[in-house]
């Protein structure tokens, strides 16, 4: 269940006031726990609201505590409209982990509306967050329903100027980013990229992942793109294989004094 710290956004999604909805959250969480199920409590509009604008990070910290106090198993910390900036993401999760240090309780959730969600992921990682959410192709958000195997709009009117840009950060791209950083993740990256391409075939149009097109960074390169003739040209000029500078230059560059630390 999702609770927004900004009440206009919350009302647009639920039709309830915040106190009214919190009571429903408490009731539903109790029922889940009684049935042996886990409730993930979502806190939204942490970094801003698409309706009312700027919000306070401290409110989201308090909302997180409220969720845990009524029995939620973990918390999804959500940027549902791409309002977050990397410095504010780091600040917020530092505040959260100072108060509630168990990283198993926290899930970061960033929507991609400005091509900056990757920076938010990095900032959350640096703050100490270890769990992230993403969707194939950057799908999700308001148009999260499927009808006859095709994505269709969700209920209600959109509160974005362009309903195409409401999806969650691309799982494929986020996974490649984390993989390139050398962080263990347990996923088969190539398989995930294949699934991303299959998702595009399923929905019938191009989605938002760049990694499904360009793939992983290949350490061995892409020699099929090499231009012919380099080896012969180096031989003609008397250069050695692997030589990068003119022979009369020194082994190391001499940095001008004005640029030295």
C-alpha closest to that of 112 among 137, 76, 89, 146 = 137
C-alpha closest to that of 81 among 210, 145, 172, 167 = 167
CATH number for the domain spanning 179: value is 3.20.20.70
Neighbours of 243 (CB within 10 A): 11
Instruction: Say if 229 falls within a structural domain.
Output: no
Instruction: Say if 233 falls within a structural domain.
Output: no
C-alpha closest to that of 98 among 73, 64, 70 = 64
Instruction: Say if 243 falls within a structural domain.
Output: no
Instruction: Say if 230 falls within a structural domain.
Output: no
Q: What is the pLDDT along the chain (261 residues), one digit of tens a residue?
A: 999 999 999 998 899 999 999 999 999 999 999 999 999 999 999 999 989 999 999 999 999 999 999 999 999 999 988 889 999 999 999 999 999 999 999 999 999 888 899 999 999 999 999 999 999 998 875 545 556 666 565 555 666 666 666 678 999 999 999 999 999 999 999 999 999 999 999 888 888 899 999 988 888 888 889 999 999 999 999 999 999 999 999 999 999 999 999
Instruction: Say if 90 falls within a structural domain.
Output: yes
CB-based contact 108:77 (threshold 8 Å): yes
**What's 51's DSSP letter?**
T
Instruction: Say if 238 falls within a structural domain.
Output: no
3 state SS for 121-169: HHHHHHHCCCCEECEHHHCCCCCCEEECCEEECCCCCCCCCCCCCCCEC
pTM: 0.85
Domain assignment of residue 187, given as a range: 2-223
Contacts of 48 (CB under 8 A, 6+ apart): 54, 55, 81, 83, 84
So what's the pLDDT on residue 163?
61
Count of domains observed in the chain: 1
How far lies 104's CA from each of 12, 108, 109, 131, in Å? 30, 11, 14, 8
Contacts of 208 (CB under 8 A, 6+ apart): 112, 137, 138, 167, 170
Q: Give dist(CA 22, CA 28) in Å, integer.
A: 10
Instruction: Say if 237 falls within a structural domain.
Output: no
So what's the pLDDT on residue 159?
61
Q: Give dist(CA 29, CA 48) in Å, integer.
A: 26
Phi–psi pair at 224, nearest 5 degrees: -65, -20
**What's 205's DSSP letter?**
S
Helix (H, G, I), strand (E, B) or coil at 61: helix
Instruction: Say if 231 falls within a structural domain.
Output: no
């Amino acid at each position: 269940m999702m609770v927004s710290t900004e009440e206009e956004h919350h009302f647009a999604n639920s039709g309830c006031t915040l106190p009214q909805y919190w009571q429903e959250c408490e009731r539903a969480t109790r029922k889940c726990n009684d049935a042996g199920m886990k409730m993930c409590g979502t806190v939204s509009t942490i970094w801003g609201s698409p309706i009312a604008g700027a919000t306070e990070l401290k409110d989201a910290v308090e909302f997180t505590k409220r969720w845990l106090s009524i029995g939620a198993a973990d918390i999804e910390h959500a940027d549902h409209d791409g309002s977050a900036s990397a410095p504010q993401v780091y600040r917020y999760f530092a505040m959260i982990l100072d108060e509630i240090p168990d990283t198993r309780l926290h899930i970061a959730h960033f929507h991609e509306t400005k091509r900056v969600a990757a920076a938010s992921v990095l900032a959350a990682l640096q703050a100490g967050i270890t769990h992230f959410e993403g969707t194939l192709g950057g799908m999700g958000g308001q148009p999260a329903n499927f009808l006859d195997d095709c994505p269709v709009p969700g209920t209600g009117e959109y509160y974005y100027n362009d309903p195409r840009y409401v999806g969650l950060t691309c799982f494929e791209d986020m996974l490649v980013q984390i993989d390139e950083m050398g962080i263990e993740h347990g996923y088969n990256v190539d398989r995930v990229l294949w699934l991303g391409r299959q998702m595009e075939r399923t929905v019938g149009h191009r989605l938002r992942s760049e990694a499904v097109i360009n793939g992983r960074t290949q350490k061995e390169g892409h020699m099929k793109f090499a231009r012919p003739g380099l080896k012969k040209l180096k031989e003609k000029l008397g250069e050695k294989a692997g030589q990068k500078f003119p022979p009369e230059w020194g082994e190391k560059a001499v940095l001008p004094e004005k640029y030295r630390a």
